[in-house]
Amino acid sequence: MRLVDGSSHEVDSSDLAFQAAAAMALRAGLEHGEPVLLEPVFRLEVVAPEEYAGEITGQLAARRCNITGMEHGPGGVQIVRGEAPLAEMFGYATELRSATQGRGVFSMEFLHYAPLDPALARGVLGQA
């Protein structure tokens, strides 16, 4: 939200008046606009022995990950790259360790914010 214009008056302007005006503007914007919930999306890289590649891609797909690439690395490892919502990645370290007998690692880096799927947004807002 961005304030693009405003003015003050010696008699009518006060901190309370500005707070009330801001609350009314926010409410009107939400009612008349088309608000969208955004979620943080992270770039992800998983490195594990090649024999676990299928299980890793299945895990990531279940976590709404968009797999952007796979390549063979040195020493018989598979490198899986993708983009995943942060909300889906909590607990993944434990799941990855279990699936790879402790031989898989992953790293994440913030990428951007993306609109949340409308069905998920309704659930987040308690409108399911």
- In this predicted model, what pLDDT tens digit does every residue of 5-49 receive, in sequence order? 777 777 777 878 888 888 998 888 888 888 888 999 999 999 999
63, 24 contact by CB (below 8 A): no
Within a domain: residue 83?
yes
Looking at the domain assignment, is residue 18 inside a domain? no
How many structural domains comprise the chain? 1
- CATH number for the domain that contains residue 96: 3.30.70.240
Q: Is residue 13 part of a domain?
A: no
pTM of structure: 0.73
How many C-beta atoms surround the C-beta of residue 49 within 10 A?
A: 16
Nearest to 85 by CA among 58, 67, 63: 63
Q: How far is CA 30 from CA 43, 92, 106, 119, in A?
A: 31, 35, 39, 19
Beta strands in the chain (DSSP E): 38-49, 66-73, 77-85, 105-115
- Span 55-79, average pLDDT: 93
Domain assignment present for 1: no
Tokens 């088309």 correspond to what residue?
Answer: 34
- Any domain includes 107: yes
Name residues whose C-beta falls within 8 Å of residue 68's C-beta, 6 or more positions apart in sequence: 81, 82, 83
Supply the pLDDT for residue 64.
93
Name the residue range of residue 103's domain. Answer: 38-121
- Residue 1 pLDDT: 63
